[in-house]
Amino acid sequence: MLDKKKIHILLVEDDPNLGSLLMEYLEVKGFQVTLERDGEAGWKRFKKGGHHFIILDVMMPKKDGFTLAREIRKADSSLPILFLTAKTMKEDTLEGFRAGGDDYMTKPFSMEELLMRIEAILKRSMPEKTQIQSGPMEIGSFLFDPDIHLLKGDKTELKLTTKESQLLQLLVQHKNEVLDRQEALLKIWGDDTYHNGRSMDVYITKLRKHLREDDTLEIVNVHGQGFRLLERV
């Protein structure tokens, strides 16, 4: 079951009345919502990370919704995106899906239908085993609690830094799969600059040292892509 209090929606809508109305409605329904008024502001907010669902108006100043969606998709291939638009042409709808959208609603629309579509997309994109985790989780012989940045093993108990904890949590969520380097940089550091990339490499090295007492765990580099946390059975 979805815990809406842990779902953070980024809403980018330039109509001040509709934007405020949508934000208030979704907050009443239990979501956390951040509202931005144009595409550039939406991109800057996205880079700060922490979002689980994106709602984009299509026609916006500074940067349109399709362009913003493509930029988001380059950084995160799985984050759900829903478009809101006054456009009704079939080609516009297809353009939305080509830009990486998961759904498309034409104005005017009912709030109830919007809510149902958001919930349906979240259930598809966040199956029970991968929904946002809170509280302790097992990693090999370790117990990791991201809420208090604690990593406890059979022989050690470590208080992680915030970035160590965030990076380890992403690796766990992608366990035995590739964690995209750019995705991690944008979600944790907010930008994928060279300096931030070097900083992340340092944190990866630290995490390897923290996990080395369990020889079933290994963080490996995937050339040109990112990192993979392997857990051998």
CB 146 within 8 A of CB 170: no
Q: What is the C-alpha to C-alpha distance for residues 191 and 189, in angstroms, rounded to an integer?
A: 6
Sequence-ordered list of residues with C-beta below 8 angstroms from that of 229, at least 6 positions apart, any chain: 139, 171, 172, 174, 175, 176, 179, 217, 218, 219
Which of 62, 95, 130 terminates a domain? The answer is 130
Ordered mean pLDDT values, 10 residues apiece, the chain (233 residues): 74 94 95 94 88 92 92 85 80 80 88 92 64 72 90 90 91 90 84 86 95 94 92 83
Measured CA distances, 222 to 9, 83, 178 (Å)? 31, 33, 7
pLDDT value at residue 140: 92
Q: Are residues 30 and 14 located together in one domain of the fold?
A: yes
pLDDT value at residue 81: 93
Kindly give the residue spans of alpha helices, DSSP state H, lying in the chain: 16-28, 39-47, 65-75, 90-98, 111-125, 162-173, 181-188, 194-211
Measured CA distances, 15 to 22, 37, 46 (Å)? 11, 7, 19
- Nearest alpha-carbon partner for 50 in 97, 78, 87, 9: 9
pLDDT value at residue 156: 87
Q: What CATH number did the domain enclosing 92 receive?
A: 3.40.50.2300
CB 132 within 8 A of CB 7: yes
Give me the helix-helix angle, 90-98 and 65-75, nearest 10°.
20
pLDDT value at residue 128: 44
CB 221 within 8 A of CB 200: no
Q: Are residues 113 and 168 located together in one domain of the fold?
A: no
pLDDT value at residue 10: 96
Q: What is the C-alpha to C-alpha distance for residues 128 and 13, in angstroms, rounded to an integer?
A: 30
pLDDT value at residue 100: 87
Q: Are residues 118 and 187 located together in one domain of the fold?
A: no
Count: domains in the chain: 2
Q: Are residues 39 and 93 located together in one domain of the fold?
A: yes
Neighbours of 12 (CB within 10 A): 27
pLDDT value at residue 76: 80
Going by the DSSP 8-state scheme, the letter that residue 48 receives in this structure is: T
pLDDT value at residue 86: 79
pLDDT value at residue 90: 64
Which of 99, 130, 161 terminates a domain? The answer is 130
Give me the helix-helix angle, 181-188 and 162-173, nearest 10°.
140
Domain membership of residue 58 as a residue range:
4-130
Q: Are residues 113 and 148 located together in one domain of the fold?
A: no
